[in-house]
């Protein structure tokens, strides 16, 4: 076992070492509830939002997070072509706060 693997295991499993068996399994407390979040459709394409002052703060694959004044919008871009043979690049955006 390499030193890096030993260190990783110690960091991950270390906090569990002192717990009784019940706390590690069935008797563990339930995770916090998943709360509803704002997911409001925006009636503008991503290009219009960018032209209106939003800026890209994060991008992962076809998803972009835009921000302006502490307000965030998440957009998904679908390029023209692809398996659907779409003639135009499109986007769908949602306000999250």
pLDDT single digits (tens) 31-65: 999 999 999 999 999 999 999 999 999 999 999 99
pLDDT score for 84 = 78
* Mean pLDDT for the chain overall: 84
Which residue, 35, 77, 36, 39, is CA-closest to 56? Answer: 77
Prediction pTM value: 0.64
Q: pLDDT higher for 5 or 44?
A: 44
The one-character DSSP state at 85 is T
Query: In sequence order, which residues have a C-beta less than 8 Å from that of residue 59 and are 6 or more positions away?
Result: 65
Report the alpha-carbon distance of residue 95 to residue 97 in Å, rounded: 6
């Amino acid at each position: 076992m390499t030193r890096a693997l030993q260190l990783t295991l110690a960091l991950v499993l270390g906090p569990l070492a002192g717990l009784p068996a019940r706390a590690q399994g069935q008797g563990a407390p339930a995770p916090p509830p998943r709360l509803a979040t704002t997911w409001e459709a925006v009636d503008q394409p991503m290009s219009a939002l960018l032209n209106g002052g939003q800026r890209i703060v994060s991008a992962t694959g076809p998803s972009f997070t835009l921000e302006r004044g502490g307000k965030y919008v998440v957009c998904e871009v679908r390029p023209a072509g692809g398996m659907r043979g779409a003639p135009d690049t499109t986007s769908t955006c949602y306000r999250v706060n």
